[in-house]
């Protein structure tokens, strides 16, 4: 089996659902259930013996050590992180504690356990650290996309905390030999994304008839990656990635924020028409402090070495995403009301 951290969050829950759709290999899911953790994301797995949920903190080394000793996973896939840039600007302390301190504690627990494994378990073990393209900083309009050799230049507390965690993972490989893998992905979108992020926020706000706040001129550029493509990339990296290596994962879909919002408005006009076009709700607001202008990653290494390519173009992925959110009104309503925080895993499905 494998141990996944942060598996009740957006990307983590999609990864678990995707993993169990392709394999019967079991998963132990460790999640602290902070505000962005939602057990309703995993409702389809209730009663599924392949998935074991454990509520706990990645910084609790004794808990992690006990899980490793009990379940003997062949890999650890690390999603758990504070990830919202706006929150990191307002309150950076939790980002430092979780993304840096938590990752360090997790690495130390994994290393202590791994060093005592017999061969060939020791050789086969992998620690996959899921990170972000924001560690590379901001690109100019005409600059080439970031590669795995690009210098780190994080500009937000969130990005800085993830950059530090990347360095700790690298050091664990080069100093101790822990067989680590790191992925740096571009902006994800798709089902189960917490509605503080751009795409689900705009969908929910548009349907509520409120103003759609767009930072600054809206010309910030992001490379959009459908979460299902990201999950496929991670499965590929875990299966065939070389220990110590870094792999960029990008969707090959660079778009400005304002064009993303306009596209959402047009899709909602067709699927859930209001009295007037949703575009009329777009409102430009003061830009975010230190807002990076452009992110883009070159995923050529992943394509060449491991054979991965994204299956979704932005047009197809965003249409699927809008359809999902329109069909999942109850899921969104429970987040808006806070009721999702009361979700409980049934006895026998948690430890």
Does residue 108 carry a catalytic annotation?
Answer: no
Size (the chain), residues: 351
Q: How many CB atoms neighbour CB 342 within 10 A?
A: 9
- From the candidates 158, 189, 192, 340, which is the catalytic residue? 158
Beta 126-132 vs 180-185: how paired, if at all? parallel
State whether the Cα torsion 173-179-181-182 is positive or negative.
Answer: negative
Does residue 134 carry a catalytic annotation?
Answer: yes
Q: What is the C-alpha to C-alpha distance for residues 97 and 184, in angstroms, rounded to an integer?
A: 20
- From the candidates 57, 133, 229, 254, which is the catalytic residue? 133
38 and 16 in contact (C-beta within 8 Å)? no
Beta-bridge partners for 246 = 182
- From the candidates 31, 57, 82, 134, which is the catalytic residue? 134
Q: How far is CA 337 from CA 115, 331, 333, 343, in A?
A: 46, 10, 6, 13
Q: How far is CA 226 from CA 194, 311, 320, 332, in A?
A: 15, 9, 10, 19
Does residue 25 carry a catalytic annotation?
Answer: no
Q: Angle formed by the axes of helices 10-22 and 227-240, to 10°?
A: 60
Least Cα distance to 48 among 78, 69, 19 occurs for 19
Number of H helices, E strands in the chain: 13, 12
Residues with a catalytic annotation lie at: 133-134, 158
């Amino acid at each position: 089996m494998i141990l996944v951290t942060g598996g009740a969050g957006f990307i983590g829950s999609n990864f678990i659902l995707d993993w169990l759709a392709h394999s019967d290999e079991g998963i132990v899911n460790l999640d602290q259930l902070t505000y962005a953790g939602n057990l309703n994301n995993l409702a389809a797995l209730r009663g599924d013996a392949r998935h074991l949920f454990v509520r706990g903190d990645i910084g609790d080394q004794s808990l992690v050590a006990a899980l490793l000793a009990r379940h003997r996973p062949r890999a650890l896939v690390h999603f758990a992180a504070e990830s919202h840039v706006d929150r990191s600007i307002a309150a950076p302390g939790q980002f430092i504690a979780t993304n840096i301190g938590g990752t360090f504690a997790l690495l130390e627990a994994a290393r202590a356990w791994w060093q005592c494994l017999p061969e060939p378990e020791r050789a086969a073990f992998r620690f996959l650290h899921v990170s972000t393209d924001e560690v590379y900083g901001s690109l100019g309009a005409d600059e080439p996309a970031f590669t795995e050799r690009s210098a780190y230049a994080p500009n937000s507390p969130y990005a800085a905390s993830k950059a530090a965690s990347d360095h700790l993972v690298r050091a664990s490989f080069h100093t101790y030999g822990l067989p680590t893998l790191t992925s740096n992905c571009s902006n994800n979108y798709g089902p189960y994304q917490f509605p503080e992020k751009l795409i689900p926020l705009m969908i929910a706000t548009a349907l509520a008839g409120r103003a759609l706040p767009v930072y600054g001129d809206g010309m910030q550029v992001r490379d959009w990656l459908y979460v299902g493509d990201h999950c496929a990339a991670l499965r590929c990296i875990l299966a065939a990635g070389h220990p110590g290596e870094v792999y960029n994962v990008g969707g090959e879909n660079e778009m400005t924020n304002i064009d993303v919002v306009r596209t959402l408005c047009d899709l909602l006009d067709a699927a859930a028409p209001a009295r007037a076009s949703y575009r009329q709700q777009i409102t430009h607001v003061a830009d975010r402090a230190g807002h990076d202008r452009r992110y883009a990653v070159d995923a050529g290494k992943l394509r060449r070495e491991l054979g991965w390519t994204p299956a979704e173009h932005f047009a197809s992925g965003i249409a699927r995403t809008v359809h999902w959110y329109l069909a999942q009104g109850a899921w969104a309503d429970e987040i808006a009301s806070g009721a999702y925080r009361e979700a409980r895993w049934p006895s026998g499905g948690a430890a």
